[in-house]
Amino acid sequence: MAEQSNIPAELLQAIQRGEARVVDLTHTLGPQAPFWREGNAPSPFHAKDTATYRRDSYFGREIQIPEHSATHMDAPRHFDPAGKSIDQLAVENFLTMAVVVDVSAAVRSNPDYRVTVADLENWEKAHGPMPRGCLVLLNTGWASRWPSEKQFMNQDAEGVRHFPGYSLGAAHYLLEHVHPVGLGIDTSSIDYGPSKDFEVHRLTMFAGLYHLENVVHLEELPPTGAAVIALPLKLEGGSGSPARVLALVPNEPPARR
């Protein structure tokens, strides 16, 4: 009888042996997290104790949060009325290989930087073609500004936000050449801060992709070779959901260290 493969066990054993490690790409979700809000609007994060040790012998809370809080996933329904809601997304797409494009150097001199087609072509020259159906993650270096909402949202005197994102051209290139399951970024939006019409969202949400926004620790991921597991809440009819996002990163073999 042929030996039965046990891929799940082999994967976990590889982590236990130190051949791969888990990186948490998730910000902590609490009242201190930067939120997308107007002016001096109060924090949309609310939590109240519904059970206390003293009264009930156990502890529990009731929370109220925006669907797009801290590290979160956008579902196509966010922009497309006929698009899938967060509970309808194919779970197979929550587990995917990731490519990481680093534009943090360009962002240092231009906070409104948008990743270009040339950036993607240069990435592919260096690392080979992006695998079809992967998750594309954009490392802009912006996560280091968390949890300062002032620094993270970076609004000017007119209230216009300034942070980097994807250009429409780059999004078209990815849809046509890579067919990714999703796009991710370490800012609050895959559209750059000054965007008024969310043109990249419009393109990619109507194309059925999901987004991961406000991810962190992308600098710990290699350009290729990391697997990502992104798990949103299964919110009925939801436009998105906070998500726990983990990366599985291969460690270099000891001999090469």
By CB under 5 A, the count of residues binding Zn ion is 2
| Shortest distance, position 198 Cβ to Zn ion, whole Å | 8
User: Judged by CB under 5 A, which stretch of 70-78, 120-128, 162-170, 171-179 contacts Zn ion?
Assistant: 70-78
> Judged by CB, which is closer to Zn ion: 20, or 195?
195
According to CB under 5 A, which residues from 190 to 219 bind Zn ion?
211
**Number of Cβ within a 10 Å radius of residue 224:** 16
Instruction: For the CB of residue 189, give the shortest distance to Zn ion in the complex, in Å.
Output: 5
**With CB under 5 A as the contact rule, which of the stretches 53-61, 67-75, 132-140, 167-175 interacts with Zn ion?**
67-75
Smallest separation, CB 137 to Zn ion (Å): 14
Q: Considering only residues 70, 72, 74, 239, which one is a binding residue for Zn ion as defined by CB under 5 A? A: 74
Closer CB to Zn ion, 89 or 248, in the complex? 89
Q: With contact defined as beta carbons under 8 Å apart, do 201 and 78 qualify?
A: yes
Q: Give the nearest distance from C-beta 80 to Zn ion in angstroms.
A: 12
Which of 203/248 has CB closer to Zn ion? 203
Binding site for Zn ion (CB under 5 A): 74, 211
